[in-house]
Amino acid sequence: MRALYTKLYTCCVALLLITAINVNYASAQQAQINLELQVNESLANSQVINLTNIIASNGSGANLFNIFIENLDTEATAQDLYLNVSLQSDKNGLIADLYQKQGQPFSLDPGQSVFATNNTIENGLPGVEESINFDGGLTTQGEEFVNDLGGSTKLPPDRYVIQIDIYQNANGRNGGVLLATAQAEIGGGIVDEVRDIFLTSPGDAVGSEAEITNPYPEFRWEGGINTQYRLIVVEANNQDGPETLIQSSVSTEPILENGSPGTGSLLQYEILDVRIQGTSFQMPPSGVQNLEEEKLYYWQVFAELSSSSGTDIRNSEIWGFILKGHGAGLTISSGGELGAALQALMESGELQELQNGGFKLGSIVIDEQTISGPAMLQRLIEFQNKVNNGEITIVNN
């Protein structure tokens, strides 16, 4: 009896050893995985990127990137797979590192392929039974990086790399075998500095009662380059404050979009609402509501920066001005070719076309002072506006 027990025990031990050897062999068989990563355009082209939008503590967040995973083996299941997501930069190294929890792998059937986004990973991969749970987050370098931001979560200009890794048998922290990796760069569109917007003309701060005489003023401000701006001009109505009037205008779409007609329309008290590239805008003589003498107007500029979470809006302060009356008109009497040339130039509208086309003239002489370049063109346009408004009359003798 004792001999039979000994034989049975020996057989059981041998069976367990054989089973263990087979299990080790199966888990060690390396899977064949194809991995692709694509960053969404909203992130790749962003001028402002929020760190929390890229790597959240649970692996989710805004829909920023897509991943494609495929088991290239059409006969064997790819088992014990682990997903890693990381963010690093040239200046700071590894900023964030998310790795799938050890002991909770996923698998892919033979030939199976899955498509997912960063926003759906936490709920698992489509068609995959196992859930995806992450550990990790900001690294030590990442915590120093965030501290250096001084409370801001906006990424400074740098080359940032999002990387996806797939390991087998364990996650990257626990010595797994790296099967596939994919990278994508972001940060190329981040503005060097999000500058404040400083208005320069026309008018001055609200309450200054600043006066202007040009009914077609050029609005100018200082701000960042390569930035899209929205300019809004409204008329005071003695009921609502300037902030209320302008914010109501913001709720509608502009009437001009970078030189082309927009989809919006002007409100009753709204004079101008345009979206442009650059830091100036010449009020046109048509297509907008005209300024009226002795009335008070407010204007404000908004910088519209593309962001990883939509659009990041930065606004200037609000300025105001009053359009004063023109008084008696000025008559220029000139004979021969000069009078004919001035009259033809004013009536043709060519000055505005020259400005729109970026044409550069040489120079003009006014009161023995030579004016050249853009300043000269602006003086001619102002001259044309006064002619159009009846302030100046050209008489060709």
Block means of pLDDT (10 residues each) for the chain, 397 residues, are 35 30 47 91 70 53 82 95 92 91 94 89 84 90 86 76 94 93 80 73 91 91 84 92 92 87 85 91 85 94 75 86 68 50 57 53 58 61 66 56
Residues with Cβ < 8 Å from 4, sequence gap 6 or more?
none
Cα angle 273, 302, 290; round to 5: 25
pLDDT score for 110: 95
**Nearest to residue 263, comparing CAs of 274, 278, 271, 248?**
274
Block residue for tokens 């593309």: 306
pLDDT score for 168: 96
Helix axes 336-348, 373-388, angle to 10 degrees: 80
Write out the two tokens for 363.
């120079």
pLDDT score for 264: 79
